């Protein structure tokens, strides 16, 4: 299937005390229409920064390089300006719904203030806002239009934020940990909503989460990041069932079997032994080598390239310890 959003060799620097620090180092991402791309990785691995760079909302202290294409068209530097893309073609929702809506502006206003550019008049925009509220299952949209964010629960606010992201009829929805701040009981509802919108609207969804259980349930494709680089990507079920990269293997290995009793919290990635590498103190060679049980001498020297591993899968490991002859046979049989 064709990629809706394609990111090639994304590099992001952040202004540091002495010189810029490379926080995202050559990330490739592909989002297909009507499917969910999951991004996983420890805290500080550059997930949010990468996502925010795709609509150009990183602050002045960030610089990026790389190719971002939407339906083949180059956007950002040297292409269509982000200002024309944001909210229209690519929308984004954030982690904390309690703070991501303006506390002093009525929901109705927040849902319509960015509709003007598509040439709608205000009555139309109003009607459309109500429809969107209905679509994200907000009870009593007429009342909701006049209400303020503090009059809604966290889950409801996240639904409103999603409705707001849909105003411009975007092709891509980026959700940065959309349920992390929510009560476990409402997480599932919000995730189901995102999945439903993805299918019904043929949206390309990119979802960032710490929760591998969520990944398992939601994601069609999965990209795993470590210290600002992609270490593994591929179809989500395959990556989760038979990881090819030692880091992914450790992440997945920390998943307890069976449904978690607390509804998902325990399935969050368990801390892997050793100090997580951040882009600020990225080890030479393979960034994972100080914590990797398979590490060899060369791992500390050579940066492993991201290599094709068959069936749409890629991973970046010099040793490739989970290589299996079965996989090769299967691949050859195709």
Partner 1 sequence: MGVRSSFWLFVIKRLGISVFLLWGVATIMFLAARLVPGDVISVMLGEEAAADPVARQAMIERFGLDRPVPEQYYLHMTNLVQGDFGISMRTRGPVADELARAVPASLELGILAGLISAILGIFLGTLSALQRGKLADQLIRVVTVTGISVPLFWLALVALYVFSFKLQMFPGIGRLSPGVAPPPTATGMYTIDALLAGQLGTFADAFMHLLIPGAVLAVFTMTLITRFTRSAVLEVLNEDYVRTARAKGLTSVRILFAHVLRAAFVPIVTVIGIMFGAVLAGAVLVEEIFNFPGIGQMMFRSAVFLDMPGMIGIGLVVAVIYVGISFVTDILYGVIDPRIRVS
Ligand X SMILES: Nc1ncnc2c1ncn2[C@@H]1O[C@H](COP(=O)(O)OP(=O)(O)OP(=O)(O)O)[C@@H](O)[C@H]1O
Instruction: Choose one: 42-50, 98-106, 243-251, 263-271; the region binding ligand X (CB under 6 A).
Output: 42-50
Interacting residue with ligand SF4 among 130, 282, 289, 309 (CB under 6 A): 289
The interface partner of residue 289, options being ligand SF4, partner 1, ligand X, none and the CB cut-off 5 to 8 Å by kind, is ligand SF4
Backbone angles phi, psi at 200, to 5 degrees: -65, -35
For ligand X, give the closer residue by CB, 235 or 276: 276
Choose from ligand SF4, ligand X, Mg ion, none: what does 49 bind? Cβ within 5-8 Å by kind. ligand X
Binding status of residue 299 toward ligand SF4 by CB under 6 A? yes
Task: Quote the strand ranges of 80-162, DSSP E.
Answer: 90-93
- In degrees and rounded to multiples of 5, residue 201 shows phi and psi of -100, 0
By CB under 8 A, is residue 138 in contact with partner 1?
A: no
Binding segment (CB under 8 A) for partner 1, from list 1-9, 147-155, 294-302, 315-323: 147-155
Beta strand residue intervals within 146-228, DSSP E = 172-176, 204-208, 221-226
Segment contacting ligand SF4 (CB under 6 A): 166-174, 272-280, 290-298, 323-331?
290-298
Cross-strand pairs, 30? 6
- What is the distance between the alpha carbons of residues 124 and 139, in angstroms, rounded to a whole number? 20
Q: How many residues does this entry show for the chain?
A: 334
CB atoms within 10 A of CB 193: 19
Helix H or strand E segment including 14: strand 3-14
292 makes contact with ligand SF4 (CB under 6 A): yes
Dmax (CA) of the chain: 67
Q: Compute CA distances 283 → 17, 301, 302, whole Å.
A: 20, 9, 11
Applying the rule CB under 8 A, the residues between 10 and 69 that interact with partner 1 are: 55, 57
What is the nearest approach in angstroms of ligand SF4 to the Cβ of residue 293?
Answer: 8
Least separation, in Å, of the C-beta of 101 and ligand X?
20
How near is the Cβ of 224 to ligand X at its closest, in Å? 11
Query: Where does residue 266 rank: exposed (0-12), middle (13-18), buried (19+ CB within 10 A)?
Result: middle
69: nearest Cα among 7, 154, 120, 144 = 7
Minimum gap (Å) between residue 299 Cβ and ligand X: 22
Residue 168, contacted partner among partner 1, Mg ion, ligand X, none, CB below 5-8 A by kind: partner 1
Binding partner of residue 103 among ligand X, Mg ion, partner 1, none, CB under 5 to 8 Å per kind?
partner 1
Decide if residue 43 touches ligand X (CB under 6 A): yes
Site track 276-305 with ligand X (rule: CB under 6 A), x = hit: --xxx-------------------------
Nearer to partner 1, 164 or 272 (CB): 164
Side by side, which strands form the sheet with 62-70? 21-32, 3-14, 62-70, 73-75
Distance CA 128, CA 112 (A): 8
Between 102 and 124, CB nearer to partner 1: 102
Residue from 147, 319, 322, 327 that binds ligand SF4 (CB under 6 A)?
319
Distances (CA, A) of 195 to 33, 98, 169, 176, 191: 12, 22, 16, 15, 6
Q: What is the binding site for Mg ion (CB under 5 A)? A: 48
Q: What is the binding site for ligand SF4 (CB under 6 A)? A: 246, 286, 288-289, 292, 294-295, 299, 304, 317-319
């Amino acid at each position: 299937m064709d990629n809706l959003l394609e990111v090639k060799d994304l590099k992001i620097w952040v202004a540091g005390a002495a010189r810029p620090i490379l926080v995202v180092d050559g990330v490739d991402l592909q989002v297909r229409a009507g499917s969910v791309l999951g991004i996983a990785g420890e805290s500080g691995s550059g997930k949010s920064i990468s996502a925010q760079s795709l609509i150009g909302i990183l602050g002045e202290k960030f610089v990026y390089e790389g190719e971002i294409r939407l339906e083949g068209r180059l956007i950002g530097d040297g292409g269509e300006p982000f200002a024309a893309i944001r909210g229209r073609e690519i929308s984004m929702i954030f982690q904390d719904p309690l703070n991501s809506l303006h506390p002093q502006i009525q929901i109705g206003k927040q849902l319509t203030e960015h509709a003007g550019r598509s040439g709608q008049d205000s009555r139309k925009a109003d009607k459309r806002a109500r429809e969107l509220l209905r679509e994200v299952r907000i009870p009593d949209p007429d009342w909701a239009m006049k209400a303020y964010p503090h009059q809604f629960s966290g889950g409801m606010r996240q639904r409103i934020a999603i409705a707001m992201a849909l105003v411009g009829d975007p092709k891509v929805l980026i959700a940065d940990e959309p349920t992390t701040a929510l009560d476990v009981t409402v997480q599932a509802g919000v995730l189901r909503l995102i999945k439903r919108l993805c299918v019904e609207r043929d949206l390309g969804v990119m979802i960032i989460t710490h929760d591998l259980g969520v990944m398992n349930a939601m994601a069609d494709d999965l990209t795993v990041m470590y210290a600002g680089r992609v270490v593994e990507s591929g179809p989500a079920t395959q990556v989760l069932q038979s990881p090819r990269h030692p880091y992914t293997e450790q992440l997945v290995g920390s998943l307890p079997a069976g449904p978690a009793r607390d509804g998902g919290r325990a399935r969050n990635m368990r801390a892997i032994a050793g100090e997580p590498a951040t882009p600020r103190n990225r080890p030479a060679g393979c960034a994972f080598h100080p914590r990797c049980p398979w590490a060899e001498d060369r791992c500390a020297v050579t940066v492993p390239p991201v290599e094709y591993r068959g069936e749409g899968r890629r991973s970046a490991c010099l040793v490739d310890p989970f290589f299996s002859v079965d996989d090769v046979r299967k691949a050859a049989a195709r």
